[in-house]
Chains A and B, each alone.
Chain A
């Protein structure tokens, strides 16, 4: 029991939940502005790769962080441009984005690092006390610059969306793009900006993932983008609840790590991973998630 209620457990939960939470909040930025974004997985993966590539080339972790965030934002805006300007269905564009990210990172892994599985190690940020005590682990997790950037971005999101002019405009585009356009808003441009923010925040998750492992591994996002999507739906497109759901995912995974020996052997221990998806289906079935979706999701101003 003491191993469950420990600082180690808390630190592991935050460390594991960070990429989920970033992707979920990125998803909320995209979808609250009315753009369906199932390409979060691809953004996570490409930004993880880009951060390692930049950090490896320059030997600087901050440049790696910036490079990762930049690539995430660019891909996310590209998705929005395809949807808004080229009128590609957002689901098709999202699938293409995921496919592209998976294949392109593998291709570049071979091109840049001559490996089919992982990049060479990178330093990343090394901040905080050394040692393996729970307190030291927690301090390292909390002092990590990527975590701090993620926490700040996540914390200001509800405020920006509900209190600032830009946030309200983005939500207007998400709820009713025609009405937003009729009062003179440039719906497409607002959506591009919202998607840039979405991509940047989601990318923080990808950078976190790569820096945490101190290298890039092929397919390392491993479905986290889809899990984040589930969190968004279960949370009814509200950032606070989505982050809470991600912390629960994180705690479940941390529990599996902390209790590895006892739990892994148990018949069906792996099936805990099914929980988020089954819960999401149940929430969808019993109406809670249905009416909560932004009303203008997937609609254009000129439909």
Chain B
């Protein structure tokens, strides 16, 4: 087998394993609920890819996942485990929605969108800054501090809704018309009724933009190197702390921007629980997407399909089955990414400095490995 074919097969292996696992688990679960598996699959398909409306709903569900997936990816490449997107997105959605509702009613769309998104991103950056700075400045491992920030957001958001805004219905006021993102059905009429909005093309563009940033700019390259080998970077005179902080804050801003799809593109206000779970699923998206922009978009569409399919099978099999499948997919992708073949294929990586295990960084050594295994995927493509 030629090396290229072999590398391509190895690259497809995690996705294939995840898909096979999802199908097998779905069959078993349907069987357990006394349903013919093929019937459940048919329902799942009809509710998603079977109709234009279903397709629109899948794109809608995928939009925030692309952005939270990118959030995890960017931080991960710099060696920072941002498992705090869930809290960052909740705080950002709340902040963005409040700001977008307080604007004067006649605010033109570009200004209103900019104000809402900046406010949201600022909140996301602030939420991400605590664990990021603790890690960069004081060497505190970020896992616990991101979890703490998630819990803080989980308590703070409903409190602000009730005590701060006096909202009995646990939601904010409607955003001004200018801040609402246009729905895709204004351009593609057949998607009528679905919640797919301009957030989807924006998210796809951001995915490719982030890729370019990481591959082609000095800041992006140095972020990746810092993730691979902070010691070597320090020896080369790269400001490791600065790049780490930049990656962490960029990650917070990306997680925050997922509110485009939920608050601005869909509801037009924030309510408790809107967008919940997107932060966690984003981790799965990033792992399955393996750092390639198209990979992340496709992975987000896969998980968006699962979420939407859950609604269409709910009458016969609980929609929570789809979340079980997500957990199965996360594990299978993680297992496949660490398979001996996958790391061997990664060994012919070119650009970054030597990949000795990082000792000084508080992050576990195999974070570097994880980064390294997805490295060659991106590098040759950027040259082509």
Residues in chain A within 8 A of chain B (CB atoms): 36, 38, 82, 86-93, 95-97, 99-100, 102-104, 106-107, 110-111, 116, 223, 226-227, 229-230, 233, 267-268, 270-271, 273-274, 277-278, 280-281, 284-285, 287, 289-290, 293, 298-300, 303
Contacts and interface: CB of A to CB of B under 8 A. Distances in A.
B104 interface: no
Given A88-B338, A293-B141, A107 B324 contact: yes
B143 interface: yes
A8 to B, nearest CB: 26
A262 to B, nearest CB: 17
Contacts of A273: 155
Contact of A274 (B138, B152, B318, B338): B152
A301 to B, nearest CB: 13
A104 B335 contact: no
B154 to A, nearest CB: 7
A87 B338 CA distance: 6
Contact of A92 (B29, B134, B141, B330): B330
Contacts of B148: 226, 230, 277-278, 280-281
B204 interface: no
B345 interface: no
Interface centre among A95, A96, A229 (most CB of B within 10 A): A96
Given A93-B334, A285-B138, A223 B283 contact: no
B152 A278 contact: yes
A277 B152 contact: yes
26 contacts: A38-B143, A82-B331, A87-B335, A88-B334, A88-B335, A89-B364, A89-B367, A89-B370, A95-B330, A96-B334, A99-B326, A100-B327, A103-B327, A106-B323, A107-B29, A107-B324, A116-B318, A223-B151, A267-B163, A274-B152, A277-B148, A278-B152, A287-B138, A289-B140, A299-B365, A303-B366
A273 to B, nearest CB: 5
Contacts of B114: none
B33 A111 contact: yes
A89 to B, nearest CB: 6
Contacts of B323: 99, 102-103, 106
Interface in B168-204: none
B239 to A, nearest CB: 22
Contacts of B143: 36, 38, 91
Interface residues of B, number: 48
A95 B83 contact: yes
Given A102-B323, A106-B320, 7 more contacts: A89-B367, A93-B334, A103-B324, A107-B318, A277-B148, A281-B148, A293-B141
A270 B157 CA distance: 11
Nearest to A286: B138
Contact of B338 (A86, A230, A280): A86
A132 B29 CA distance: 45
B320 A103 contact: yes
Most buried by B among A116, A267, A281: A281
B223 to A, nearest CB: 20
B83 A284 contact: no
B331 A93 contact: yes
B145 A95 contact: no
A96 B331 contact: yes
Nearest to A218: B320
Given A89-B367, A290-B140, A298-B364, A229 B147 contact: yes
B287 interface: yes
B81 interface: yes
A303 B357 contact: yes
A38 B147 contact: yes
Contacts of B163: 267-268, 270
Interface string B146-170: 0111111011100100010000000
Contacts of B338: 86-88
Contacts of A90: 364
Interface in B348-375: 357, 364-367, 370
Contacts of A303: 357, 365-366
**Closest 10 A/B residue pairs (Cβ):** A103-B323, A100-B327, A298-B364, A106-B320, A107-B320, A87-B338, A88-B334, A277-B148, A99-B327, A103-B320
Contacts of A102: 323
B334 A89 contact: yes
B280 interface: yes
Taking each of A36, A223, A277, which has the highest tally of chain B beta carbons within 10 Å of its own beta carbon? Answer: A277
Nearest to A303: B365
Contacts of B150: 226
B23 interface: no
B130 A95 contact: no
Nearest to B364: A298
